[in-house]
Amino acid sequence: MGSTTSIVVLVAGTAVMTAVVTTGLMWFVGGRLLRTRLASTIDNAGDVVAARVRRAILDAVEEVLPQVRREVAEGVGEAGESILPRLREQVRSGITEGVASAVTGGAVSKAGEEILRKSGSVIDAGLDLLLGSRKREGD
């Protein structure tokens, strides 16, 4: 080969090697630095967006909250007004029913019957002790 050809091959080889080394260094350094910077930038951007969204939501809530409170209070008042007469009627009928059953002998009658039954057996046992046990018809 001639000297011109060997110089061209040497220059081309040097250029290719320089390009490969430069590309490798840029890829390594750029990848490390860019990843770190990009990650911190993305984190910061996320924080900024989150703060803006949070502030916008809080502003919207503060703006709408008094109206929502008024509407809820009105709704609760209306519901209470519609339920209160039925509740009063239910309580009134329950009390009336309870008093009526007590007066007519529902609970009192049952308690009285139980007392009579138990006291009758106690009296019977006491008489058996005093007078001696009597023979029953089935004995």
The pLDDT of residue 19 is 94
Contacts of residue 101, Cβ cutoff 8 Å, sequence gap at least 6: 107
**Assigned domain for 67 exists:** yes
**Assigned domain for 65 exists:** yes
Between CA 75 and CA 72 the distance in angstroms is 5
**Assigned domain for 138 exists:** no
**Assigned domain for 139 exists:** no
The pLDDT of residue 135 is 58
Secondary structure (DSSP) of 61-128: HHHHHHHHHHHHHHHHHHHHHHHHHHHHHHHHHHHHHHHHHHHTTHHHHHHHHHHHHHHHHHHHHHHH
**Assigned domain for 43 exists:** yes
- Report the predicted TM-score, pTM, of the whole model to 2 decimal places: 0.34
The ranges of the chain with pLDDT < 70 are 1, 102-109, 127, 130-139
**Assigned domain for 136 exists:** no
Q: Tell me which long-range contacts 91-97 makes (C-beta under 8 A, separation of at least 24).
A: none
Tally of domains within the chain: 1
Q: Tell me which long-range contacts 116-122 makes (C-beta under 8 A, separation of at least 24).
A: none
**Assigned domain for 37 exists:** yes
Q: Where in the sequence is the domain holding 43, given as residue range(s)?
A: 3-131
**Assigned domain for 81 exists:** yes
- pLDDT tens-place string over residues 8-47: 999 999 999 999 999 999 888 888 888 888 888 888 888 8
Q: Tokens representing 134?
A: 């009597």
Q: Tokens representing 102?
A: 């007590």
Between CA 101 and CA 109 the distance in angstroms is 10
